[in-house]
Structure 1
Amino acid sequence: MVAEGRQRIDKWLFFSRAVKSRSLAAKLVVAGRVRINRDKAAQASDLVKPGDVLTITLERRIFVWKVVGVGVRRGPAEEARLLYEDMSPPPAPKGEAVPDAIPALRDAGSGRPTKKQRRETDRLIGED
């Protein structure tokens, strides 16, 4: 029996257009790629309600969505966007390096490091 104002997570993911089919939504939940309020969703039958925060991992992207309403059908994208509020952090701009990344120690085009050079690099980094 479904409580008023609640919906199965697989149906909600399908209605919100996060996935293409309800069976893919169920597989996503069972694989542990969906969290409801920081807790892993164990089954596709877990219920969501307005106010819940979902963390969804899809192909190298992490979505953080706040459930605003439950869906009645899988409608157009404009209707699907009314079901959630996107709280995801903005994606990192492409082409920018990570600021804390270690710069390359070798000249470009100098080939692969020799075993001796690799050991020296490991000692420099601290991986003995």
Structure 2
Amino acid sequence: MDTTRIDKWLWAARFFKTRSLAADAVERGKVKLRGERTKPSHSLKTGDMLQIDNGATEWEVQVCGISDKRGSAAVAQGLYGETAASVEKRRLLAEQHHFFKEPTAALKGRPTKRDRRLLDQSSS
């Protein structure tokens, strides 16, 4: 197999949980092929560059393998190679979120009256 649909490949490479989510992302322009918007039915081949934004994370990857079947995570990781700039960008973003502490992270379950007062004091 030399080519496959871009939405099938995104699903097989585990960037999206379902094929319909992958197709919607391509339609909305969240996935770009060589910097250009494309359609979900566009053929993808080895060597193509993709910019992928699935809402939680952004990747810049090069297609290393073609598959239209979803396999294990190890197989899926073999379908693409992430660029060094993309890896660095994701690492920096993860570090920024590491220092931000959610105010309710220490609470377990529903806050008590005392917890609520402390939360209200810290927010004002």
TM-score by length of 1: 0.67
Aligned identity (percent) is: 33
Larger Rg: 1
Gaps of 5+ in 2: 101-123
State the partner residue of 2:27. Answer: 30
What root-mean-square deviation, in Å, do the aligned CA atoms of Structure 1 and Structure 2 show?
1.9
Tell me which of 34, 43, 52 is aligned to 1:56.
52
The number of residue pairs the alignment matches comes to 94
Higher helix share: 2
* Structure with larger RCO (C-alpha < 8 A, sep 6+): 2
CA shift for structure 1 position 40:
1.1
Return the offset for 1:72.
Answer: 4.3
TM-score (norm 2): 0.69
CA deviations 1:39-62 (Å, max 9, x no partner) are: 111x11011100000000122521
CA displacement 1:14-56 (0-9 Å, x = unmatched): 1000000111110010011011011111x11011100000000
Matched, 1:86 2:94: no
Distance 2:4 2:11 in 1: 11
